[in-house]
Amino acid sequence: MDAVSVKNLKIRYGSHVVLNGLNFEIEKGNIAAVIGPNGSGKTMLFKALLGLIPYEGEIKIFQKSIKNALKRIAYVPQHFDFDRTLPITVDEILSFASNGKSINAKEICREVSVDILAEKLIGDLSGGQLQRVLIAQALIKDPDLLFLDEPSAGIDIEGSKAFYDLIKHINKEHDVTILLISHEMSMVSDLADQILCLNRDLVCNGPPREVLTKKVLDKLYGPEMNIREHKHL
């Protein structure tokens, strides 16, 4: 069964075509990574898949329209801008997102090591801790599909490694299909089951070993780009 099915997706920004005629599927239970240079339309693709912007073509999430599948989707944003001096605790931000509906919030917080931060103010958290809180708010929804927009941006290498381990854990243990945007080629090539290369068009789509060829990377990033293996994963 496909978790995501996209047919002839076209996104315009004014008269400018941002994404042109995209077709792809993501199988349920997979980790799929969207890669591409800045301005290639990755974030626009996410916005369309989340039902936040108008688009042409067809998007189905678990064979339903986005609106009817929203309850099964969770999202971790790249940026979480807020006034850091505002006193909002981790517990409170999680209760805002769940609106008191989650029955397993405590268990999830323990699982992603957020329980020890419960009384801390979100303005006092490090980048890695904040990212874990955002993951927790997403998992509290008990989603079947999780969108992660550059999840390890602003986290150091060790933190990033731990973060990708957590993504793997969520995928395997919670049976959550994951779609993420990342610039970390070495990480995603080891982590993802499927790679979608974007540069307005879909430049590649398939397992990393098959699609991350020099030809494709040249097409995406120019001839300077190569993948270094990541020893931690």
Q: Does residue 103 touch another protein according to CB under 8 A?
A: no
Contacts of 40 (CB under 8 A, 6+ apart): 198, 199, 200, 220
| Contact residue for another protein among 5, 20, 89, 186 (CB under 8 A) | 89
Task: Establish if 153 lies at the interface with another protein (CB under 8 A).
Answer: no
Q: Which is nearer to another protein, 52 or 157 (CB)?
A: 52
41 contacts 11 by C-beta, under 8 angstroms: yes
Per CB under 8 A, the list member of 21, 60, 70, 225 interacting with another protein is 70
Q: Is 71 in the site for another protein (CB under 8 A)?
A: yes
What's the closest the beta carbon of residue 83 comes to another protein, in angstroms? 7
Residue 53 binds another protein, judged by CB under 8 A: no
Question: What kind and span of H or E run contains 217?
Answer: helix 214-221
* CA-wise closest residue to 159 among 189, 194, 187, 117: 187
Q: What residues from 8 to 47 belong to the interface with another protein (CB under 8 A)?
A: none
Of 80-88, 177-185, 199-207, 216-224, which part binds another protein (CB under 8 A)?
80-88
Q: Is residue 54 a contact residue for another protein (CB under 8 A)?
A: no
Q: Distance (Å, rounded) from C-alpha 4 to C-alpha 228?
A: 30
Residue found under tokens 């957590």: 166
Which amino acid is residue 161, in one-letter code?
A: K
- Nearest to another protein of 21, 51 (CB atom): 51
**3-state helix, strand and coil shares in percent for the chain, rounded to the nearest 5:** 35, 25, 35
- Judged by the rule CB under 8 A, the positions of this chain that interact with another protein are 50-52, 70-71, 73-75, 77, 80, 82-83, 85-89, 92-93, 95-99, 121, 137, 141
